[in-house]
Structure formats: structure tokens, C-alpha cells
Amino acid sequence: MNMIHITLPDGSVRTFEQEQITPLEVAKNISNGLAKKAIVAKVNGNLCSLGQPINEDASVSIYTFDDPEGRDTFHHSTSHILAQAVQKLFPGTKLGIGPAIKDGFYYDFDSEHKFTPADLELIEAEMLKIVQADESYQRQELSRADAIAMFTEKGEPYKVELINDLPKDATISIYTQGSFTDLCAGPHILSTGIVKAPKLLSLAGAYWRGSEKNKMLQRIYGTSFPKKAELEEHLYKLEEAKRRDHRKLGQELQLFTFVDEAPGFPLFYPKGIVLRNNLENFWRELHAKAGYAEIRTPMIMSRSLWERSGHWDHYQDNMYFTEIDEEPYAIKPMNCPGGILLYNSQLHSYRELPLRWSELGLVHRHELSGALHGLMRVRAFTQDDAHIFMLPEQINEEVKGVIKLIDSVYKTFGFTYHVELSTRPEDSMGSDELWERATDALRDALKDLNMDYIVNEGDGAFYGPKIDFHLQDCLDRTWQCGTIQLDFQMPEKFDMCYIGEDGEKHRPVMVHRTVFGSIERFIGILTEHYAGAYPTWLAPVQAIVLPITDKFNVYAAQVAEQLTQAGVRVEVDHRNEKIGYKIREAQMQKIPYMLVVGEKEASSQTVSLRKRGEGDLGAVSVEQLVSDLVCEIKERR
């Protein structure tokens, strides 16, 4: 009897006395619960179907819908169901590609029929029939000639083009479910019946292979889940995301806007500046306590500087350029070269290090117009940057200090987050030795703080590895914000030095880091996270006084003045409107506290207090209100 040894991710080994085994059988051996949830497997580092035979010793990982590998396989398998349904309903439709994407999938079609939202309902109904048929996904490998002949006969020119563009040694495979066959590398789920809850979401146009030179195809977007309850939760979050869209709220709350005359360059209203200044003041306060000194560097610097820094070779497609005195200059896409020039303007002693310099630096980066998205993707933004120049033996403590600082900021806003360690990319500079040394230093700091992290291979900056912080908002979306980049390269390129204890010149090590990442983007994230209802300390207007009639405008002004003198941002609604209307307006503006005043309040020196989200809290003295508000704001609750 043949013996197959299966090594699991935790290092344990399962032994099977049989000629061959499948990943599904391995999952059942671990637990029936895992087998029911299993979607796809990885065998010796390669993703494969749960039905793939294993006839020798192997390492095996099982993935469910909760894992990215399982989710992508599930969504991609659903895209095949979509393609089958479309060709059933609209014969003659030619197939493009149908990959999994974040939270779903799409498929591109070349059809004489112009798809409409009503068509999506028909297609979805046909998809459910395919799901109910519970057809298995069957894999078959073909020679290049046979594959081309098959898809030529089917009238699928896009598939033939894809086959012709594959490397000569590529394995060409097709997958069939029922009467439908598609070119695909796989893997797939075991059968269509596993997709309990498919949903088509929208239509769009897309050039074949992303080139404007090619034909415009019709793209159908969708998503799918193993359970209907999960789909319903996802659709709720999509609706919530629309309600919380920072672009809509920014205009409604008069925070920021965008105009055609300045695409990708946001404009801030006075209330938006109040919000922004509060964020920046909070940032400055924390950094001062952490031993940072604030600097300011030029926005425009010579091309020779960017050539020396490496940005010219690695980043020029994202830069803007100008000419001064017939010499080429560039508008900075990053702050670090300016900070280095400031460092090099003086000679430094080892006794000065670490030197922590922070900078709220406005940077410009050329983004394609199609990539622009409100405050989340702009062409000009303020990086909450800082650079730390240090001795090699100070790396560990300085990196840990930055991690603790970032953690304290995110906790203030109620964010959870996960951490990724990104390693050397292909387009990088410097020796293997320095890269390994820098990567190990970041890894050691994370281990010292007992932090869980994911390794993101090949996604470091071109000059060094980095730790990235990914925030999770109230809709479970993640946003990459803070980063810590350890850099041995720039000090070499700019011949940076300090005078050591031995009186000789030595090379410092440099850390680049941000906390918010971008002030603009962080405001966008906060706006959607809070749905515009910012915490009181951050709100542009913290309280509004609402006189019942004009008769009480004087008392309302007195209340507002007491709050203003205590540092509270307050407004008075003097309009000749009914009090119910004023309250609804204040609620629409997401103001934390509404202070209703009439004859009873004026005579007792109180206000009738209404709190956002809690309603009427009854009468409270002005003195007590001022004390409570000042305390809440000071503590940044």
C-alpha cells in the first residue's frame, strides 16, 4: 500500500495509506466543518481544485471563503457562470476575460445586444438556474494548436488572441461546466451549486485589454457569496458606502469640493479648513511630545536633485516639471530629498542623533484622470511626513517608537488595523546585503512588540523595505495609511554623514514615515467612517444655539459667547423659522450639540440640550454645559 504524507501549514503531518488523495479528503481528515467550507487548496505552493489528485508526499493548505485565495476562486468561478448565462440568453456574444476583483468579479463581452439594467435581472435569473443544476467544473489540458482550433471554431477571437500571447511553454487549460467551456488557468470550485448567492451589480464599458486602440466591450460587474445572508450584509454595506460617500458629504457639509478647472486638486471651504486644522494641530501636539521638530522644505527643486535621489529613474512618470532660468526643475512628489538637503547643510555629531524632523509637506503626483477619486486619489496632497536620522544601533528603538505613535493615533479615532511588511521590489536600488539588513531590522521591531503582520513580498519602496498600516473602517473596508520605510540607500546617494565618537565620519540610517499618509485622504476616510458625524473635538461646528423665537436672540448670543470664550466652536441659528425646522437642519449638518433656548431657559440660565444620536437630554446649566464640553473636547473622546 502506498503511503502519502501530507504536511499542513502548522507543521503537523497526516499520513494516508492509499494510492492517491485529494485536498478535499485532506480537509475531511482535519474536520468535517473545514471540508464543508473549503473552496480551494494549495499543494506544494500551487493553487489547485479540491478534487486535484495528490499521489506523493506534499504540503497542503486548505482555503475557505474567508481567505483571499478562497474568495478569489469563488468569485472567478462565478464569472464563468455569468458568461454561460449571457451566451445562453444572447447567442453570438463573444467572450473577453472574467477575473476576480476586490469583493467580486466582472466579465467583458462583445455583443451586438446593448445590455441594460433590466438585462441584469434576466441574466441573474439564468445564473441561478445554472447554480441549481449543480454542474461540476471539469479541467482539461490542450495543445496550443488544439486550443486555437477549438476557440476558432467557437467564434471566440479574443480567446484565440490570448492563447497566441501565452508563453511557448505555458500549459493551456480549459474548464467546462455543463455545455459551457472557457479558456482558463483555474483553479475553480468543485461545482456551480456552491454559489448560493450571485448578484449582478452594474454595467460599464471597457477597452479590450485596456487599450484605447482596441474595441470597446461591455463589462458586467457582480459579486457572489456561499450564503444569502452574507450577500444581504454585503449589499447593505454597499448602500451604506453610497450614503457615506465623502464626495457627497463634503459638499453637503460644506467641507470640500472639486471643480472641472482643477481636476484632482481639492478645494476646501472654511469648515473644511477647521476640520483640517484640528487634525494638523493634533498631529503637531503628538509629534512635539514624541521629540520631533517641524521643518519646511521647498516645493520645487532642480532636476539634478531628483536624478541623484533615484526618483528620476524610478518615479518620473508620476512627476510634474517646470523650467526656471532655463534650467529643468521638478515639483516634489515626495518630501525626503528636501529633508536630506537640510540635514547636509550642517555637520552633525553622533550626540545629536536620533534627529527627528516632521513636515506637513504639499506634494504633487501625476495620476491618470480615470484613477482620480475624491480625496482618496488626488494630484496634490499634504503628506504628514517625518524623517528620522539615526545611528545604526538606534534603528530598533526608533522604529518601535514610530509604531507606538501610529498606534496611539489610530486608537484616538477608534480604528483597528493590520500590519504588512513589504520586501524588496524588482525595481529597486542598492545591494542585497543592505536590503537584507533593513528588512531584518523592521521584522525584529515587529517581533519585539509582539505584533502580528503579513509579509507582502516585493512591494517595498525602491529604496527600502517598509511596514504599512491598513486601517479598517466601520464598513470593514481597509485603507493603507501609515508607513515606516527603512532606508540605507539615500544616505549613500547623498553622502550623508555624522561625526562619530572616534572623530571619524560615519553614515547615518534614515527612516521615512507617515501616520495619516495624506491629510486629504485621511479626511476622506474619516468622513466615510463617521458618515460626517465627527467626534465633538474634530467637528467644524461643535454646538449650535437655537432660539425658539427672535425674542430670545440676545440670550442665545450670550450663551454662544460663553462657549466661544471657553474655546468651543459654536454658531447661533437666528433665522425666523420654527424650532423643529432648526433642529432638523442642525441634525442634517451633523452638529454634535443643539442648545434650544426659550423663556424658561433664559430665566433659569440653562439650555435645553439635545445631543446628536441621543436626542433630548433635558435642561442643563450653561456653566455645567461649558465644563462638560471643554472636558470632552480636551480629552478627544
CB within 8 Å of 513: residues ≥ 6 apart: 385, 386, 387, 388, 402, 406, 482, 483, 484, 485
Quote the CA–CA distance of 267 and 265 in Å, as a whole number.
7
The CA distances from residue 487 to 363, 397, 431, 598, in Å, are 20, 15, 12, 63
Which residue in the list 48, 184, 336, 481 is annotated as catalytic? 336
For 496, the grid coordinates are 550623508
Quick check: 400 and 448 in contact, CB under 8 A?
yes
Which residue in the list 177, 383, 485, 542 is annotated as catalytic? 383
Decide if 5 is catalytic. Answer: no
Which residue in the list 219, 512, 521, 610 is annotated as catalytic? 512
Decide if 512 is catalytic. Answer: yes
Say what angle helices 117-133 and 68-89 make with each other, to 10 degrees.
110
Quote the CA–CA distance of 125 and 127 in Å, as a whole number.
5
Q: Strands 355-364 and 293-294: what pairing?
A: parallel
Decide if 474 is catalytic. Answer: no
Quote the CA–CA distance of 495 and 614 in Å, as a whole number.
60
Decide if 387 is catalytic. Answer: yes
Q: For the CA atoms of the chain, what is the radius of gyration?
A: 30
Which residue in the list 246, 287, 387, 569 is annotated as catalytic? 387
Decide if 48 is catalytic. Answer: no
Decide if 365 is catalytic. Answer: yes
Which residue in the list 466, 529, 582, 590 is annotated as catalytic? 466
CB within 8 Å of 361: residues ≥ 6 apart: 296, 297, 332, 335, 338, 382, 383, 385
Using DSSP's 3-state secondary structure scheme, residue 83 falls into helix
Quote the CA–CA distance of 47 and 63 in Å, as a whole number.
10
Using DSSP's 3-state secondary structure scheme, residue 543 falls into strand
For 42, the grid coordinates are 494549495
Which residue in the list 182, 385, 468, 487 is annotated as catalytic? 385
Quick check: 80 and 188 in contact, CB under 8 A?
yes
Quote the CA–CA distance of 586 and 613 in Å, as a whole number.
12
| DSSP, residue by residue, 493-504 | HTT--EE-TTSS
Which residue in the list 80, 247, 365, 377 is annotated as catalytic? 365
| DSSP, residue by residue, 401-469 | HHHHHHHHHHHHTT-EEEEEEE---SS--S-HHHHHHHHHHHHHHHHHTT---EEETT-SBTTB-EEEE
Of the candidates 329, 311, 333, the residue with the CA atom closest to the CA atom of residue 380: 333
Decide if 565 is catalytic. Answer: no
Residues designated as active site: 336, 365, 383, 385, 387, 466, 512
